[in-house]
Structure 1
Amino acid sequence: MSYFNYQGKNVFYEEMGNGSPLFLLHGNTASSNMFYEIAGKYAEHHRVILIDFLGHGRSDRLAQFPVDLWFDEAMQVIGLIKAGGYGPVDIIGSSGGALAAVNAALEAPELVRRVIADSFEGETTLKAFTQNVVEDREASKRDENARMFYYYMHGDDWEQVVDNDTEAIRRHDETIGKFFHKPLETLKPDILMTGSKKDEFICALEPGFFERVYGDMIRKIGHGEIHLFETGGHPAMLSNPEAFLERSRRFLES
């Protein structure tokens, strides 16, 4: 197992495969374990780098998560790219990992070649989600499938990880609300935004969400692509694995 130091804490990462470097960034309440199956397929053509953000998976735990969580996670990614001498890299971020991926591209465009941002909220918090996040997370902890997922991602202390994440989302929504520090107009790397039209967390709250939000973001950026899957749930990357793999490879090889 490999670790690198970020602000005095040990951040877990691992590599597999050969080729151009590709980072896979996990979402909220998850860890790099979410990529267990698909990572090996990317490793056929890429040097895949998996990371457990601080407080998750096999990385050091935190008493509480940073309020600006997805920016801090982007800084961890940038730190690992520099420490490992990987850059420039491609990045696929899913759900909350997509927010970290876009932040990394905005903050260090010289280190990022291409970004695939999958199944994320856009530039600002989705109020329909955040206003119920505490109740929804408490309900998820009573759901057997969710409990199994959390345990597989983090181990015995999964409940504390989930609670830390929930509190960070709540505090971010109340005090910051925006995910990115720099304007989207400054984004230089190529970007592909993906999602599922049947996303149970986002499109169930607002049908047509991705078309509207992703479209606005692409117009601000001035370049980029959008691909929405007709089927599958959240995230699109894992609920449409074969189709996502094929579409992402075309983008990464373009």
Structure 2
Amino acid sequence: MSYISYEDYEIYYEVFGEGEPLLMIHGNTASSKMLKEEAIYYSNYYKIILVDMIGHGKSKKIDVFPKDYWIANTKVLSKLCNKLKLNKINILGTSGGAILALNFAINRPEIVNKVIADSFIGEKLTIQEAQKIKEERQIAKRNGADKFWKYMHGEDWEKVVDTDSEMLINYAREFENNFKNKLYKISCPVLITGSLKDNLIRDIDKRLTSVAKQIKTSFTIFTSEGDHPLMLSKKEFYRNLVNKFLKVTLNR
């Protein structure tokens, strides 16, 4: 297993496949395991980099997530890209991973070729929304989600879920915008996607359209099929979408 250290964090990652680099980022309370099947598929065409975000999956478990969670993860990924000598990368992030992907494009524009941002909450997370997420996760623990989380994180899955929930509440209190109002700095092509039937994100089309309007080179695709996240609930549809989008960008 491969790890990279940053400050007090130990981050798990793995690399496989050949071709242009494609960094794939999971969502909150999930891990790279969630994306493994899709990563194996994409590895037929791209060099895949899978990571577990701070405190998730096989990364070192911590008692408190960093206050500015997305920026902290951006710094870790930046160090990882330097270590792997990646001069240009494409990024596919889903849910919280999409927020991280866009923040990375803001902060490391010189190495980001293309971003695909799927099924995320948009620019803002209110305190009320963060508290609701926490409450819904408590209910989900009793309704079978514990099996999913245990598979993602191991025996200490509940610590990950609870720590992430507290981070979201604290983040909503501290920051008004998931991107620090810097979306306009993104210069690479960005594909933003979502299901209109997403059961976790209310008004997803309005939220993501607002994000897209601030990125000059953005494209949006919404479908009335699928659920949360779109990339896993409509796999064949999404695979075709990603391949078509990246082939145009990469001139394949």
- For the superposition of Structure 1 and Structure 2, which TM-score range results when normalised by the shorter chain? over 0.9
1:216 aligns with 2:210: yes
Which is worse superposed, 59-68 or 173-182?
A: 173-182
CA shift digits 1:56-112 (9 cap, x unpaired): 111111111112212222222112111111121000000000000000000000111
Instruction: Give the aligned residue type for 1:108.
Output: R
TM-score normalized by structure 2?
0.94
TM-score normalized by structure 1?
0.94
Hey, what does 1:189 align to over in structure 2? 188
1-side partners of 2:181 and 2:3: how far apart?
Answer: 29
Q: CA deviation at 1:213?
A: 2.3
Correspondence list, 1:217-236, <5 A: 217-236=211-230
Hey, what does 2:17 align to over in structure 1? 17
2-side partners of 1:48 and 1:18: how far apart?
Answer: 8
Which is worse superposed, 125-134 or 181-190?
A: 125-134
Q: CA deviation at 1:159?
A: 0.3
- Residue 226 of structure 2 aligns to a residue in which SS? coil
- Residue 44 of structure 1 aligns to a residue in which SS? coil
Contact 2:5/2:11 (CA < 8 Å) preserved in 1?
Answer: yes
Please, what is the CA RMSD of the aligned residues?
A: 1.3
Q: CA deviation at 1:128?
A: 5.7
Q: For 2:237, which of 221, 231, 243 is the aligned residue? A: 243
CA shift digits 1:177-236 (9 cap, x unpaired): 31113521111111000011110001xx3xxx2332222222221221111122111000
1-side partners of 2:217 and 2:110: how far apart?
Answer: 17
2-side partners of 1:220 and 1:134: how far apart?
Answer: 29
Hey, what does 2:83 align to over in structure 1? 83
Displaced runs of 4 or more, over 3 A: none
Identity of aligned residues (%): 37
Q: CA deviation at 1:126?
A: 4.9
- Residue 66 of structure 2 aligns to a residue in which SS? coil
Hey, what does 1:253 align to over in structure 2? 247
1-side partners of 2:42 and 2:129: how far apart?
Answer: 32
Q: CA deviation at 1:238?
A: 0.5
Correspondence list, 1:92-131, <5 A: 92-126=92-126, 129-131=129-131
Hey, what does 1:67 align to over in structure 2? 67
Distance change in 2, residues 1:128/1:174 (3 Å): closer
1:3 aligns with 2:11: no
Contact 1:70/1:97 (CA < 8 Å) preserved in 2?
Answer: no
Q: CA deviation at 1:42?
A: 0.4
Instruction: Give the aligned residue type for 1:222.
Output: K
Contact 2:91/2:116 (CA < 8 Å) preserved in 1?
Answer: yes
1-side partners of 2:131 and 2:86: how far apart?
Answer: 39
CA shift digits 1:14-61 (9 cap, x unpaired): 011100000000100010000121111100000000001121111111
- Residue 213 of structure 2 aligns to a residue in which SS? helix
